[in-house]
Structure 1
Amino acid sequence: MMWFCLAAGLGAVLRYVADIYLPRSGILVVNIAGSFLAGAVLGFDYFVNVDPTVVLIVLGGFAGSVTTYATVALAAAEQRIQSTRKVARTWLLQVGLSSLACCFGLLGSIVLLG
């Protein structure tokens, strides 16, 4: 439980720092990186049978807290209110690139271990 909380705290701090230092793209970067990590961990778990506690800590703790779609939803709502016409683009970039990153993480682990 302690390692899970530490991993989650680290992920949240990393997300916050990315948002501060990369104001226009920080959340996109951490969502892509966290999704890639999630795919890679799932692939490694499939081939190597990683300890379930480690998978839980990395996926649920770190990757779960470093990625955020609540912030994306808030940005999309603000864009909608301001009528910037970027709402669909925001969601497509966030969800599309994050999904693609997860697939690449999974494929990368398959190539390395398969």
Structure 2
Amino acid sequence: MRTASLDIAAAQGTHVWPFAGIGLVVVALLIGAFFLGARIRRREPAPPRPEEQPRLPDSGPVGDVLENREPDEMPRDGDRLTPHRLNAHGSRTSADQTRPRWDEGGSGSFGSGGPGGH
């Protein structure tokens, strides 16, 4: 009886080897990927040194520009507008640079409780 249980245990233990083989293949692939990544990393340029970093201009930080802009006109002659004919911004500085204001007596938003601009 004792040898029969050993035979059964030995027969069941042989199913571990395919999984161990697959595990070894996965480990080998991971090690290979690590070395390949290190090789690719060596070919990349080095990170910039402190003296190569961008510097603040002598005049100080650049401030925000507040301006009213209006959209560029679309051609109405039926000609197709191709990408190389587009303006980089899609808008231009407006001729009227006065800021729009709320109507006097207007509430400014819906439901704010004011009388509104009637």
TM-score, structure 1 normalization: 0.24
Larger RCO of the pair (alpha carbons < 8 Å, separation 6+):
1
Per residue, is there more helix in 1 or in 2?
1
TM-score, structure 2 normalization: 0.23
Per residue, is there more strand in 1 or in 2?
2
